[in-house]
Structure formats: C-alpha cells, structure tokens
Structure 1
Amino acid sequence: MNAKITRMNPEQLHATPGYHHITVVEAGRTAYLAGQCPLDSDGSLVGDGDLGRQIDQVAANALTALAVVGAKPEDVLRTVIYVCSEETEVLWTAWRRLTDSPLAPALSAASTLLGISQLAFPGQLVEVDLTVALPD
C-alpha cells in the first residue's frame, strides 16, 4: 500500500477501548464498503436473534469484501457499528466480540458504535460499515 495511515490518540482526550480518535491518510484511493450484514452467500439471515453468530458472519463478510478490493483489516480508516439494542452491556458485548474477531485490526481505526432500534432485516442485530484505504 502506498498510502500512509497514521492513527492517533491525543493525550488531551480520553483513553479508548481499542480504537483511535484520529486516523490520517496521506495519499491513496478510498473504498466505501456498504453495511456488512449477517447474511450468508444465499442472502439468508444467519443467527436470527443471536448477536454472537451475527457478528461472526458480519466479520466474515467484511473480510471477503476487503479481499475483493485487495485490502486487509489494517487498511480500514473508519468503522461504524450498528447494534439493535439500547443496553450498554449488549453494545460492549458486540464490541468485545468484534475486537476478538479476525476483523479486529479494522476497529483500531476511528470507530463509532451505535445502539439503534432497527435494521433492515427482521431478526438482524448488527451491521458494520467500513471506509478503506486501497492499495495502489
């Protein structure tokens, strides 16, 4: 990759649970991956109502999408994670599962975790959007 990516956590800001407050890209091309849903290759929902299984599927789908554009989780500049819950513990459970997954390096970028009321598919509990610096 020719783009230089710098991640920063200024000491004047609060400590984070793994993400960086700032991600700077010096140069390169950018890809915006659509929200990765917990759907299998046939378009069927995986793990209806099961947050852990859905996160595993979302991570697998995100890794597939990254590979298609020649990128790795380390090339991710920004993540937005949507979880259908208003409960703080559920949100932290989702964060921990993602940071323990093969997608974990992507979450060291500037990341936002949101608790929301509903996603597109009945039974869907999680979705992840990625912004990626592409190799030249």
Structure 2
Amino acid sequence: MLPPTPAGSLPRQTLSDVAEYAYAATAPCDARLIFLAGACPLAADGTVGPVGDYAGQAARAVENLRTALGEAGADLGDLISTRVLVATARQEDLVTAWEVYRDAMGDHAVPSTLLGVTVLGYTDQLVEIEAVAAVRD
C-alpha cells in the first residue's frame, strides 16, 4: 500500500507511464469537495462555439471550468478527477480536445477519462468537461 499523500496525484507504481494523466488521486480528510457540472463551450449569451472546432470548444470549456472553480474558491490545481467528453467517433478529434485540456492543466496530472460520445446536450456542442476538486478552507 502507498503512504497517504496530503492531496493530489499518487505516484505510479506498476501501471504504464505512457498516459498523460495520473491513475489515482487522494483528497485530504479535511478538504471541501467541489463537484462541478460539466463545463460546456457556452459563451455568456448561451451560444455554443466555436461551431465545428474541437480545439476551440475545448478551450472555451476549460475557461468555463476555470471560472466555475474560481466561483467555488478553487482553481485548476485543485482538481482531483476529470472526465473529458467529446462528441465524435474519430480518435483524432479526441486527441485534439485532449491536447487543449492537457495544456491547460500544465504540470498538474489529474486522473482523467477521455471519452467519445454520440451527442452532447447543446446543439453544435462537441466538448464537455466534468470535474471534482478538493480544497482546504
């Protein structure tokens, strides 16, 4: 068993290091957990966009995620789990959205799932990012 960590990603022991994410993370017992609804690529006026642009929608979803985290007293560095949903059957579209997401995370290796789905909730929506964060107040 691994020793407990104060928060964040656990070190890899035997799983592949090819993946650009952590396989597991912990949250301190005194942390406040923040469960975020899926961050969508919505502009302030409620429109989805940029239409047809996986990278652009991923970037907008990350910015909306960043805003929601900020309003809850957290930031991207507090994330302990994410799920990136991409409306596509093409692996290259998944990779395009993932690269934008990964770049936004910087050195913070969040346990993540990248998932291709048939359709998302808004017309023309291609990307959505669900997340859980942990913060100490």
Kindly indicate whether residue 7 of structure 2 is the aligned counterpart of residue 5 of structure 1. yes
Distance 1:47 1:36 in 2: 15
Kindly indicate whether residue 37 of structure 2 is the aligned counterpart of residue 34 of structure 1. yes
For the aligned residue pairs, the C-alpha RMSD in angstroms reads: 1.8
User: Where does 1:1-136 land on structure 2 (aligned, <5 Å)?
Assistant: 4-27=6-29, 28-101=31-104, 104-105=105-106, 108-136=109-137
Distance 1:74 1:105 in 2: 9
Shift in Å, 1:107: 6.2
Shift in Å, 1:19: 0.8
TM-score, normalised relative to structure 1: 0.88
Distance 1:38 1:8 in 2: 30
Tell whether the 8 Å contact from 2:8 to 2:80 is kept in structure 1 after alignment.
no
Distance 2:34 2:56 in 1: 26
Change in Cα spacing, 1:73 to 1:67, as seen in structure 2 (3 Å) is same
TM-score, normalised relative to structure 2: 0.88
Structure 1 segments of 4 or more deviating over 6 A? none
Q: Deviations over 1:71-99 (max 9, x none)?
A: 11110010000001121222112111211
Distance 1:93 1:62 in 2: 18
In the alignment of these two chains, the number of paired residues is 132
Letter in structure 1 aligned against 2:85 = Y
Distance 2:134 2:8 in 1: 12
Tell whether the 8 Å contact from 1:70 to 1:135 is kept in structure 2 after alignment.
no
Distance 1:43 1:117 in 2: 22
Identity of aligned residues (%): 31
Specify every segment of 5 or more residues in structure 1 that has no aligned partner in the other structure, as ranges. Answer: none
Change in Cα spacing, 1:105 to 1:135, as seen in structure 2 (3 Å) is farther
Distance 2:96 2:130 in 1: 18
